[in-house]
Copies of this chain bind each other. A is one copy, B any other.
């Protein structure tokens, strides 16, 4: 047994721990909130800790996932590090994701300045010489001159007198939203939500320190009413009260996350004053209970894109009566606040260099611009990169092939959770296409070649993997005996066509935007990949078969957590909220479905070749 000391903010502990225990296990067993999105598989790089003492040697995966600076500062990944002797864990960096992300490139700029403000007042008691009304008494001591609602005015005389004229006034957007006896300025919390079509992630933020106290994720409970956003809109059209049902489901998801976060961190719901969410326009409208019919039908019109402030209880959100919900603004029906968050986090709007942001999905959003001008479009790419419409496609969960290489010795794979493979997820599909093309197994038109048509230098071991089955040609990726189901995992010509359609739509979208802006690929300095697997994709592989543009000086960056980070940034500082509003105003949306040139570009973009 060795001694492990934990000094993590308010929480401190000294524990006797068995040698070779992973730091992640120690933290989780002792109820320390730590990000480990990949489940401790050493993939996500989120479980960063600052730690000193006798530890297992640095693993190569840690070198990949940590920056030079972090390595210097003694940062380790808790899931890959084991205790060898006495150890002291000082900081959970994972607990501060938002500030970290925001600090990138903007260091010193991010001031903690939430929308909700508390001011503690010690008022002079009324006397015959000072008879102003209770409200005037409060108002004359406030920096701003807010409005107050009747319900709070009703409580004011009692609160004032019971609190001996010492009270905390809580303001939001020019309105007093709560009156609290005594000094409660330290008790001020906010929630940020990333409302994904599949997954909903909530973050609990301490607005007095800026610290992220916790994070919790759940499947979007709307899932059983449609896997993607459009099928949920269809549900609202087909079913009477379908929209109400879907609203209930997302609110239920949010409430479960809130309940978990608040109880874990012992935060009183009356002290949580705001919840800001980010999500695509359909998720936004379903949550707010707004009509989605006209988003789905041409000419694709939403009800509102501008941000609103809504009492949370009006939507059934289980917070206090003083809690307000808001959201980052949307740009258009198919460019939502998640994309605005991406632009915010990438700092495209402040950059002199041209940046390209792509969110890969059934609806793939593409944004191109810099501080001068930002334009966007949405390409109907189909769900291939999400693993749907691919025979063995699956989401990036345990058992998914996430990396793939074709070598002379055969197909080499890496599987999430290091287990027998069940299928292939987005990052694996990207690898697969690149490898098929590099090894000459498919031609530029996407045709999967027969074994006899392959180049001579293709290894026999690979040629043997090409089979003809059900009148279709396939390549075996995993033999039956190695797969989890006992059935071979294959990729078929049909699968390749689905991927081809997806990449063609995205590439055509990028070309249209480039044409509108009058720029060349060489002008693009950074490509940002947002969306679910933005962080996991191998950019070089995506470049290989023409999904992402290729040029010598382009840098590629995954910003898979942009939506959550954007929501957190908005809660933490009004500056970022305002910046997001400006971004939504600034982005010009181009509708592809009305354009003749899109079809031309699309046909041309179907060829698998480098996008130069």
Taking beta carbons and an 8 Å cutoff, which residues of A are in contact with B?
126-137, 139, 147-148, 150, 153-154, 156-158, 288-291, 293-294, 298-306, 308, 310, 314, 330, 332-333, 589, 591, 593-594
In whole angstroms, how far apart are the Cα atoms of A302 and B150 in the complex? 14
CB within 8 Å for A301 and B591 given contacts A157-B291, A291-B157, A294-B157: no
- Contact of A593 (CB < 8 Å), options: B128, B137, B289, B310: B128
A52 to chain B, nearest CB (A): 52
Task: Chain B residues near A291: list those with CB within 8 A.
Answer: 154, 157-158
Q: Is B131 within 8 A of A299, CB to CB?
A: yes
Task: Chain B residues near A150: list those with CB within 8 A.
Answer: 288-289, 308, 310, 314
Q: Which residue of B lies closest to A292 (CB)?
A: B157
Q: Is A128 within 8 A of B288, CB to CB?
A: no
Task: Chain B residues near A134: list those with CB within 8 A.
Answer: 294, 301-304
Q: Is A301 within 8 A of B333, CB to CB?
A: no
Q: Is B301 within 8 A of A154, CB to CB?
A: no
Task: Chain B residues near A147: list those with CB within 8 A.
Answer: 308
Q: Is A154 within 8 A of B594, CB to CB?
A: no
Q: Which residue of B lies closest to A593 (CB)?
A: B128
Q: Can you pick out 13 interface pairs between chain A and chain B where the beta carbons lie within 8 Å of each other? A: A126-B294, A131-B301, A131-B332, A133-B302, A133-B333, A134-B304, A135-B305, A135-B306, A136-B305, A148-B308, A150-B289, A156-B303, A157-B303
CB within 8 Å for A136 and B308 given contacts A126-B299, A129-B594, A594-B128: no
Task: Chain B residues near A300: list those with CB within 8 A.
Answer: 128, 131
Task: Chain B residues near A289: list those with CB within 8 A.
Answer: 150, 154
Q: Is B594 within 8 A of A301, CB to CB?
A: no
In whole angstroms, how far apart are the Cα atoms of A594 and B129 in the complex? 8
Task: Chain B residues near A332: list those with CB within 8 A.
Answer: 131, 133
Task: Chain B residues near A132: list those with CB within 8 A.
Answer: 301
Task: Chain B residues near A148: list those with CB within 8 A.
Answer: 304, 308
In whole angstroms, how far apart are the Cα atoms of A299 and B129 in the complex? 8
Q: Is B131 within 8 A of A591, CB to CB?
A: yes
- Contact of A133 (CB < 8 Å), options: B127, B305, B594: B305
Q: Is B135 within 8 A of A303, CB to CB?
A: yes
In whole angstroms, how far apart are the Cα atoms of A134 and B299 in the complex? 12
Most-contacted residue by chain B among A137, A157, A300 (CB, 10 A): A157
CB within 8 Å for A290 and B153 given contacts A131-B299, A136-B306, A332-B131: yes
A596 to chain B, nearest CB (A): 12
Q: Is A589 within 8 A of B131, CB to CB?
A: yes
Q: Is A303 within 8 A of B153, CB to CB?
A: yes
In whole angstroms, how far apart are the Cα atoms of A127 and B294 in the complex? 11
Q: Is A304 within 8 A of B133, CB to CB?
A: yes
Q: Is B305 within 8 A of A128, CB to CB?
A: no
